[in-house]
Chain A
C-alpha cells in the first residue's frame, strides 16, 4: 500500500516536473523572438525630407543620409558606453568629433559611462543648401539614458531630447559636423 502510494506520488511529481519543463520551454520559445527584438539596440530613425529646402532632396541622398545618421547614433552610443573614441572617427567631424572625443575622454577619467538605450529618432530635414553641401536636421529623439559610475547606476531616465544637427557630404557618406541639443525647435 505504502509502496503504491509512493509510486503514485513519484508519478505525480515527475508529471509536474515535466509540465514545468514544458511550460518553461514553451515560454522561452514564445519569449525568445520578443527578446531578440528588445536586444536589437539599433537606433530606429524616421526621416522626413518634405520640408527640406531650398534644394529638393534626391531619393538616393535621402537613403544614404538615413543610413549614415542611424549608423552615427549607433556609434555614438557605443563610444559613450565603452568609453572608446574609435567609433566616433568615421561619421563625426569638426566640432561634433571634438565634443564627443572630449565627452569620452572625460567620462573615462571620471569612471563614468553613459548608455543610450531604445533610441527612437523622428528626424526632419529643415534646410538643404542650394549646392547640396549642407543639410540641417531637426531630430526629436527619445531614449533611455543611463549614467553609471563604475557599475552603479546614478541616473536612469527616459528622455525626449531635441537635436539640431548639421551634416556635410564626405567622400562616400554624410558626416555629422554639429550636434546640439535645444529645449525646443
Chain B
C-alpha cells in the first residue's frame, strides 16, 4: 500500500512539483487506509459475534432422553433453547425425520417405540446434538415354546425337552427373570409340574418319557399366558418275540404272538419282524411288518425246518416243524 502511495506521490510531484500536496495526499491515503482497516475490523468482529452467538445458541439446545421408556408406550424428548430444528430418531426398526420447535418436548408415539433396544435422538439446528436411550420390552403376552421330540419312545430317560421364551406383544424378548410353569399330562398318569425361572430370557426343562404309549401334553404358562405342545409317546423296541407256526398246503405259515415293548405297549404297526427258516435245502428269510400287533409270513418247504424270528435287537424262540 505504502509503495503505491509513494509511486502516486512521486508521479504527482513530478507533474505539479509540490512537496506539500504530496504530504496531503499521503495523509489522505493513510486516513482512508485506517478507515478501511476499521471497517474491516468491525465486519470481522460482527461475523465472529454472529458465529459465536450461533454456537452459543446451538449449545444451549439440550436434550433429555426418556428415563424408563417401555415398548409401545408413548414418551417424549425434552429440549431447551428456541427456534426450529430438525429432529431425527434412529432405532432398531425405525428411522424418522421431522421438524420440531426447540424448547418444547418432542413427543414419541407408541408406534415409534415398539421395538426394544437402543434409540438415538438427534436434533440439528446449525449443529447437531444427540442423546441415546433404551426402550425396554413390555409385559410378556406370548411364549415361544420349543419341544422335542414330536414322537418319543416310552420309558426313556431325559428324552423330552422344552425351551420357553417369553415375548411381549411387539415380539420383544422379555429378559427380566420370570417364572414359567411346565405341566406334563399323560393319560393314565398323574400330571407332573415343573417350575423354572427364565435366565437371559429362556427357561427350559428336560424329562423322561412315561411308561404308557399315548399323547403327552406339555403346557408352558407365564402370567396367565399358556402354550401347549403334544409329544406322542410310542412303544419302544419289541421286548420279546414268541412265534408259532403250522404246515399248510403251500408249505408252512409262521406268526408272532402280539408284539409288545418291555412295558407292555403294543409296538406300532409296520415294525418289521424277520423270520428265518433253515432246512436241508438252505436258509430262507422273510421280512414281515406287524399288522394289528402281529407279524405273519407264508414260507415254502416240505422237509423238517427250524424257524426263528428277530426284530431290532430282540430274538424270539426257535420253532421246529417236522416233515409234511
A residues whose Cβ falls under 8 Å from a Cβ of B: 54, 94-95, 98-100, 102-103, 106-107, 110-112, 114, 126-127, 129-131, 133-134, 136, 138, 145, 147, 149, 154-155, 157, 159, 161, 164, 166, 178-183, 185
Judge whether A131 and B122 touch: CB under 8 Å: no
A129–B94 CB distance below 8 A? no
Whole-angstrom distance from the CB of B90 to the nearest CB of chain A? 6
B-chain residues with CB within 8 Å of residue A100 when the two chains form the complex? 93
A180-B130 contact, Cβ under 8 Å, with A99-B93, A103-B94: no
Interface string of B185-203 (1 = CB under 8 A from A): 0000000000000011110
The reply to whether B204 and A112 contact each other, CB–CB distance below 8 Å, is no
- Bound-complex Cα distance A182 to B116 (A): 8
Contact among A103, A178, A179, A185 for B95, CB-based, below 8 A: A103
| Known A-B contacts A110-B96, A134-B163, A136-B200; A181 and B88 likewise in contact (beta carbons under 8 Å) | no
Q: In the assembled complex, how far is the CB of residue A109 from the closest CB belonging to chain B, in whole angstroms?
A: 8
Q: What are 8 A-B contacts with C-beta separation under 8 Å?
A: A99-B92, A129-B146, A129-B161, A130-B204, A131-B146, A164-B175, A164-B200, A181-B117
* A164/B94 contact (C-beta < 8 A), A134-B163, A147-B120, A154-B124 known: no
Q: A102-B93, A102-B94, A112-B97 are in contact. Are A182 and B115 (CB under 8 A)?
A: no
Docked complex Cα distance between A130 and B202 (Å): 12
A74-B58 Cα distance, complex, nearest whole Å: 36
Decide if B96 touches A138 in the complex (CB within 8 Å).
Answer: no
B30 at the interface (CB under 8 A from A): no
Residue of B with least CB distance to A165 = B173
A110-B97, A161-B118, A164-B175 known; A181-B90 Cβ under 8 A: no
Determine the distance from Cα of A149 to Cα of B99 in the docked complex, in whole angstroms.
14
CA gap between A103 and B95 in the complex, in Å: 6
List B70-97 residues whose CB lies under 8 Å from chain A. 86, 88, 90-97
CB distance from A150 to the nearest CB of B (A): 11
Q: How far is the CB of A115 from chain B (nearest CB, A)?
A: 12
A185 to B201, CA, bound (A): 11
- In the bound complex, what is the Cα–Cα distance between A128 and B161 (angstroms)? 12
Which residue of B122, B124, B200 contacts A138 across the interface (Cβ within 8 Å)? B200
Q: A130-B161, A149-B88 are in contact. Are A54 and B93 (CB under 8 A)?
A: no
Q: How many A-B residue pairs have CB under 8 A?
A: 109
Q: Do the beta carbons of A181 and B92 come within 8 Å of each other? A: yes
Q: Is B275 an interface residue (CB 8 A)?
A: no
Quick check: B202 and A136 within 8 Å, CB to CB?
Answer: yes
Q: How far is the CA of A166 from the CA of B175 in the complex (A)?
A: 12
The CA of A164 and the CA of B167, in the complex, are separated in Å by 14
- Is B206 engaged at the interface, CB distance under 8 Å to the other chain? yes
Q: Which residues of A contact B171 (CB under 8 A)?
A: 94-95, 98, 178
Q: List 4 additional A-B contacts (Cβ < 8 Å) besides A136-B201, A149-B124.
A: A114-B90, A130-B204, A134-B163, A166-B165
Listed from nearest, the 4 A-B pairs whose CB atoms lie closest are: A99-B93, A130-B161, A181-B118, A131-B148
CA distance A111 to B124 in the complex (A): 15
Contact present for B163 and A129 (CB under 8 Å): yes
What chain B residues lie within 8 Å of A185 (beta carbons)? 200
Expressed in whole angstroms, the minimum distance between the Cβ of A15 and any Cβ of chain B is 36
Contact of A134 with B146 in the complex, beta carbons under 8 Å = yes
Complex CA distance for A111 and B137, rounded to whole angstroms? 28
B 147-164 to A, binary, CB cutoff 8 A, 1 in contact else 0: 011000000000001010
Cβ contact of A180, chosen from B86, B122, B172, cutoff 8 A: B172
Q: With A136-B200, A136-B201, A180-B116 as known contacts, state yes or no: A164 contacts B161, CB within 8 Å.
A: no
Query: Smallest distance from the beta carbon of B97 to chain A beta carbons, Å?
Result: 4
User: A57 CB to closest chain B CB, in angstroms?
Assistant: 16
- Determine whether the beta carbon of A154 is less than 8 Å from that of B200: no
- CB contacts (< 8 Å) of B93 on chain A: these are 98-100, 102-103, 106
CA distance A98 to B204 in the complex (A): 27
Q: Which residues of A contact B115 (CB under 8 A)?
A: 99
Instruction: Report the nearest A residue to B92, measured CB to CB.
Output: A99
- Contact assessment for B146 and A133 in the assembled complex, using a CB-CB cutoff below 8 Å: yes
